[in-house]
Every structure is written in structure tokens, then in C-alpha cells.
Structure 1
Amino acid sequence: MKKVLLVALLLICIFFACRKEEPSHPELVLRYADNQSTGYPTVEAAKYMAELVKKRTGGKIEIRIYPDSVLGSENSVMEQMTYGGIDMSRFSLGTLSRFFPELWTLQLPYLYTDSEHMWRVLDGDIGDMYLREMSGKGIIGLAWYDAGARSFYTRTPISSFASLQDLTIRVQENDMMSRTIELLGAEAVQIPYGDVYSALQKLRIDGAENNLPSYVFMDHNQAAPYFYQDEHFRLPEVVMISADAQKKVSAIDPGFVEIIEACARDSGVYERKLWQEEENRAYEKAVQSGVTFIIPSDEDMFALKQAMEPLYHELGQKEREIVERIRDT
């Protein structure tokens, strides 16, 4: 009996000696910036990623999320990340294209037939290739997030493709988006995301373009109640880490670099689910608030796509081949 007790006591001692407890304080804290508010799919997915990282690194690495642009605008955050001022963030392709011109191809209007088509592309070789190509200039691409499809919304009704002409439309601070609007015969105005509602109220612009959740989340539906659902852009977003932060992670444990990459990919899958749920909620809220949804006719869609042909003609040989691969996927 005594021998049994001694063996049991020995096993308990070995168990506690070998057990890896989470440290009371993390060895490394990473700051993660997002320009959206708490509750938005990208922010909630970032929180999920932070939970995974903490768990899989045994509490040695902690990611702290800073939403609502408290660390600066997307452009500001990107600049800070290049020299290690901010550790991680989620960026739109519109912002990233200023630093990585090769992303021009993925921003082409009407590039994908639907959401499923886009994810077949991004989850495959093409998506992996672009993540690798973005890993430079002090920042490293980790995973893709969904940002839905972007459509037009205006203060006055849009009855057809011709109704867009001569309107003043807000776009991101991105040349591709400005070109797209101008090819439709409208005037493009680059205004920061947080200033759009005020610009609509003060009649500085006739409308803007964005995805449905952002449209409702920022109350733009109150100022521009007509939603022309042409889905001209499907622009995924990218979770990134600064090269400086990745070196700090590797200094603690080289294996943690792959753990963070895996956690980012897992959070990307989670974010897609949240995004779909948010789109459904946003649609219901928009309808309840009195928004008028206009679905372009087949003739209008043909005219819209034809208007974009100059952008496709400007592509180089490599980019044209990528477009063909995307269309064949």
C-alpha cells in the first residue's frame, strides 16, 4: 500500500514539474490596429486570432487589439508598420496597392463572378503567390479576410447605368478606384472613410461605394438611402505583421512564427463566417431603415463591364495571364 502511495505521489510530482503553465505576464505584447469598431467582423476575427495565439504559445505572446482607428488611419498604420511602430493590422487592397503595385490585378472591377469564385482563387496558388509577394518593405502577409462586394449608394435614386454619370462619388484613397469611377462618367473624390457621412450630409458628394455591412455600420444608409447593387469590386483584405515584430516573435521561439501564421489563417476562415452573418444582418437593417435596393439589369451589367475594358487592356502579359487563370478557376 505504501509503495502504491509513493508511486502515485511521484507521478503527481512529475506531472506538475513537467506541466507548462502560462506565464502570469506575456514575454511579448503585439499591438494590432483596425479602423473598424468592436463588433465588426474583422475586429472580432482579430480577437479570435489573439485568443488562439495566447493559447498556442502558452501565454508567452499576447496580441492587443486597438479598433476605431485609435492608432491612426490605414495609411498611417501602414507607414508605422514599415518601421515597427505598430506590430500587426488588417489592410484593404486599396491601401496596400500604394506599397505593392502588383496588387493592381486583384483590384480589377468585375474580376470575379461571385464570392465562391474569389475564395477558390485566394485559397489556391494565386492567393498564396500574392501573400508571398506582399512579404516585403518591412511587412509580411499572413492571411486573407473577407470584405464582401462593393456597390454604389447615393442620395438620389439610380435607375440605370446612365444615372451614375456626372455624379460625385467618394472612393478610397486609391487610384484604381478613381479610374473606375471616371470610366463610368462620374467624378471621383478621395475622402477618408471616417469623413464620408459628413460629406454626404453636407452635399459635398452625391454618393459613395462600399460593402453593405460598412454602409449600415457607419449609418451611411441614413444619408444615402439608394443602394445600386452592382458589386463592381470584390476586394479581400490582408492580415499583416511587421518584419520587426516577427523577429521578436522568433527570438522567443522560432516555432512561434508558424503558430502566428496558422492562427491568422484560422481567424480568416472564422472571419468569413462572421462576414456572411453580418451581411445578412446589414441587409435586414437597411430594408427596415427604408433603403431602396436597385439590382442592375442584364443590359446595365453589360454596359458597366464594357466601360471597364480599358483597365484590362492596360495589363501587361503577366497580369493578363493571371486574369485568365482567375477566370478559369
Structure 2
Amino acid sequence: MKRFLLVALTLVLVCFSCRKDQPSHPELVLRYADNQSSGYPTVEAAKYLAELVKERTGGRIELRVYPDSVLGSETSVMQQMSYGGIDMSRFSLGTLYRFFPELWTLQLPYLYTDNEHMWRVLDGEIGDMYLRNMSGERIVGLAWYDAGARSFYTRNPIANISSLKGLTIRVQENDMMSRTIELLGAEAVQIPYQDIYSALQKLRIDGAENNLPSYVFMDHNQAAPYFYQDEHFRLPEVVMISVDAQEKVAAVDPLFVDVLIECAKESGLYERKLWQEEEKRAYEAAVESGVIFTIPSKEDLLELKKSMEPLYEELSPQQREIVKRIGDA
């Protein structure tokens, strides 16, 4: 009996100690939106971010992740964040450009030679500069997430650049993407992400462009089994927080603002690792499902890059200087 009472007392003390270190109810709950589903790298990285925030604020701040666009599309979420309706989210550069025109340069097609080149740029002075400048619309940039390279996929085979001419290709609501498609002789159609599969099935479009994990994750490989791996865009994504949410965090503890930034950056590194693993899985799944991959020849890549010259010629002197620095990285 004495032993039982001793064990019970020990458990009570342990529970009391836990409760003392970490409150049973958070002082602040933040809402984080994502348009992808659970299991997708960006969503899993957001959940990891939530764990870090809870741990490093001693449970005083909780981050709740809402995937599957349940809080709205990317554009809708951005608008809600600007007046504090949603606290945090992850955005594609394609969406952010509409609110931050200075991001035009980072969207240029064939800007980077490969993934390593892109991260040398974004982890350096240029990436930090862009994060600092993303502070309008009452939202603030915290960290970069990987979104791979975007390529074309179609219902019918693409042998080379000439095969793209005359095709109807879905793009995001983004001027740079539309211009890129048009310079290749195709027609750009802006339709919502969740409607692509239906548009392919109903023959409303000939194809689309996206990264490999998204292509497989949304079953687009079932409707468009030809993947032309030209990697025309490398568009990283940005974890952002509303100014209202940042002020609420500071009200709990001013030091937690920097804590949140560091947690976001750590989640970014974690997301990159998840992304690499997901790309490998997506490629294997695509091959197994019968997808035909075509890698452009060096001649085709040169022709593709040459067709983009009008976009580069329109750049301001300041933008050209950034492009030069990116090339030198």
C-alpha cells in the first residue's frame, strides 16, 4: 500500500512539474494555411514548424496547420493575412509577385543552372534582401521553402521546343508565366490549381507546367502522361506571417518574434530534405505509372533560353545587376 501511494505521489509531482513547465492552454493560437494536402513536403514542414514553436515558447504559442485550401486559395489567404484574418502561410513566388512586383526578377525562366545554384543565391545576401523587402501588405517574409523545378506535361508527346507551338498550357495567375508560354508559341490559360485535372480530362487544355511532386500528388500523370523536363522555372516559396500576428507574438513575449523567425528558417531546411525525398518518390511513381520523360537536348535548351531573351531585354539596369549577381553566384 505504501509503495502504491509513493508511486501515485511521484506521478502527481511529475504531472505538476510538466504543467508548470508548459501551460495546459496556449496564450496565443496562430492559424497557418496551406493549399496542399497532408503528406506534402510543405505541409509536413509546417507541422514541424508548429512543433518547434510549441517547444521553444514553452507551449505559450501554438501554431495550427490547415492544409487542403480549407482556409482559401493562395490569393484569398494572402488577402486575409493582410488584415489579420489568417496568421501565417506559405506562398509561391507566382502568387507573391502580384503583391510584391520586385519579385519579377526571381521568376525569370532559366535563371538558375540547377538547384544548388538557386540555394547559393537564396541563402546569401540576395535571398536575405528579398525577404527583408517583402514587408508590404502587412505581411512579412520569414524563410524560403523549396518547390523544385517546373516543367511541362501534356496529353500528347513533346519531342522538342517546336512541339509546344500551338498548345494550350495552364499556368498560374502570373504575368511572367503567361509571357513565357507565349514566347514559346503556346497559349497560356490561367485556371485554378484544383481544376487542372478536370481541364485535362475534358480536353480544355493540352497540358500544364509544374514541379514533379505536384504533378504526381494531384494525379495529373494519369491525364497527361508526357513530361518534358526542361525545368524552365525554379520558383521557391516563402513562409510569411501577418504583421498583426507578429504583434500578438510580441505581446506574449518580445523575444518570441525572433524565436519564430528561427523556427521558420529551421523548418525551411527540413522542408528541403523532404522535398528531395519527395522528388525521388514522385519520379519512381511516375515511371511506374507509364509516364514518358523527355529531357531536352543541349540544342533545345539553348533555343528555349534564346526564346526568353525579350524578357531579359526588358529588365531595368537594377534588375540586370541582380541577374548578373545571380549568374556569378
Write the distance in 2 (CA, Å) between the matches of 1:68 and 1:229. Answer: 27
Residue by residue over 1:28-56, the C-alpha shift from the partner in whole angstroms, topping out at 9 and shown as x without a partner, is 00000000000000000000000000000
Q: Which residue of 2 aligns with 1:141?
A: 141
Residue by residue over 1:112-164, the C-alpha shift from the partner in whole angstroms, topping out at 9 and shown as x without a partner, is 00000000000000000000010122100000000000000000000111000
Residue by residue over 1:158-179, the C-alpha shift from the partner in whole angstroms, topping out at 9 and shown as x without a partner, is 0111000000000001111000
Q: Which residue of 2 aligns with 1:5?
A: none
For residue 20 of structure 1, report the CA deviation from its aligned partner: 5.2
Write the distance in 2 (CA, Å) between the matches of 1:160 and 1:257. Answer: 50
Q: Which residue of 1 aligns with 2:33?
A: 33
Residue by residue over 1:279-300, the C-alpha shift from the partner in whole angstroms, topping out at 9 and shown as x without a partner, is 0000000000000000101111
Secondary structure of the residue that 2:76 maps to in structure 1?
helix
Q: Which residue of 2 aligns with 1:203?
A: 203
* CA root-mean-square deviation: 1.3
Q: Runs of 4+ in structure 1 displaced over 6 angstroms?
A: none
Contact conserved, 1:230 with 1:301, CA < 8 A, in 2?
yes
Q: Which residue of 2 aligns with 1:281?
A: 281
Contact conserved, 1:112 with 1:234, CA < 8 A, in 2?
yes
Residue by residue over 1:274-320, the C-alpha shift from the partner in whole angstroms, topping out at 9 and shown as x without a partner, is 00000000000000000000010111101100000000000001100
Secondary structure of the residue that 2:140 maps to in structure 1?
strand
Write the distance in 2 (CA, Å) between the matches of 1:58 and 1:310. Answer: 53
Write the distance in 1 (CA, Å) between the matches of 2:137 and 2:186. Answer: 35
Q: Which residue of 2 aligns with 1:302?
A: 302
Secondary structure of the residue that 1:62 maps to in structure 2?
strand
Contact conserved, 1:200 with 1:206, CA < 8 A, in 2?
yes
Secondary structure of the residue that 2:290 maps to in structure 1?
coil
Contact conserved, 1:20 with 1:58, CA < 8 A, in 2?
no
Q: Which residue of 2 aligns with 1:327?
A: 327
1:135-214 pair list within 5 angstroms: 135-214=135-214
Q: Which residue of 1 aligns with 2:117?
A: 117
Task: Output the TM-score relative to the length of structure 2.
Answer: 0.94
Q: Which residue of 2 aligns with 1:96?
A: 96
Q: Which residue of 1 aligns with 2:10?
A: none
Secondary structure of the residue that 1:244 maps to in structure 2?
helix
Amino acid in the other structure paired with 2:113 = T
Q: Which residue of 2 aligns with 1:51?
A: 51
Write the distance in 1 (CA, Å) between the matches of 2:117 and 2:160. Answer: 26
Write the distance in 2 (CA, Å) between the matches of 1:122 and 1:299. Answer: 29
Amino acid in the other structure paired with 2:128 = D
Amino acid in the other structure paired with 1:147 = A
Write the distance in 1 (CA, Å) between the matches of 2:180 and 2:196. Answer: 19
> How many aligned positions are there?
315
1:62-101 pair list within 5 angstroms: 62-101=62-101
Secondary structure of the residue that 2:50 maps to in structure 1?
helix
Write the distance in 1 (CA, Å) between the matches of 2:128 and 2:292. Answer: 39
Secondary structure of the residue that 2:38 maps to in structure 1?
coil
Structure 1: 5+ residue stretches without partners: 1-12
Q: Which residue of 1 aligns with 2:61?
A: 61
Task: Output the TM-score relative to the length of structure 1.
Answer: 0.94
Percent identity between matched residues is: 81
